[in-house]
Amino acid sequence: MGKLYAEYDTEAKPVQMNIDIDTSNLGPDKLEELVLHIAEMSERDTNFLSTKLNKLVWAADFACFCETGSTISGARYQREKFGPVPKAMPIILERLKEEERMEFRKVTVGTRKGLRPVALDAADLSRFSQRQLMIVDKVIAENFGKTGKQLSDESHDKLAWKVLENGDAIPFAAWFVTSRQPTPAERRSGLELEALAKTFHGKA
């Protein structure tokens, strides 16, 4: 179990953001229940395969990070071929399988073959806040019917994805960095802030 918990950031503090975060309810057990809940809610999604499970877990955690400054699961993520994946995900999935709480069925979707995660047990939602559950369910609904590849293509447009290598850690705050050029309005705002900063530092 020590190895499993070692994959988690119990501090769960986003990079360069001064936000107080409640870390009392984070850990691998919470990721396990999040995975089960997503599988339950995606039961009727014919495009729900293993890759999409990873994408939805990431999307839910990232959406919660954007709204609250902290993630749902507290998991550390790393770059993998098809997108960000919790480092502990292989261990979590193996444990769910061994405990007979989840199984992976071989399916064919169109011309694609893959594994579909199927929840055999109800997720314990008692450790999630109502806000967290609303965020998760919204993410699932917004992406219902999409393929894992479609979600992967969306994540591959991010600058953080392009500059990192497989296995590299992905801080959530890095996902906000973009390579696009600022708009005229953003340039004006930046120049105004620069002038204001120079005034405060006596360099005007």
DSSP 3-state helix, strand, coil percentages of the chain (rounded to 5)? Answer: 45, 15, 40
pLDDT of the residue at 150: 82
Mean pLDDT of 149-174: 70
The C-alpha atoms of residue 65 and residue 13 are separated, in whole angstroms, by 10
Which residue did the predictor score with more confidence, 149 or 116?
116
97-141 pLDDT, tens digit each: 999 999 999 999 888 889 999 999 999 999 899 999 999 999 999
Which CA distances in Å does 20 have to 12, 37, 69, 70, 77? 10, 27, 8, 9, 21
The C-alpha atoms of residue 17 and residue 194 are separated, in whole angstroms, by 20
User: Rounded to two decimals, what is the model's pTM?
Assistant: 0.71
Q: Where are the domains of the chain?
A: 2-178
6-62 pLDDT, tens digit each: 333 333 333 333 333 333 344 458 999 999 999 999 999 999 999 999 999 999 998
73-89 pLDDT, tens digit each: 989 998 888 788 999 99
The C-alpha atoms of residue 150 and residue 59 are separated, in whole angstroms, by 13
pLDDT at 5 over 80: no
Find the helix or strand (DSSP H, E) in which 104 lies: strand 102-109
pLDDT of the residue at 61: 93
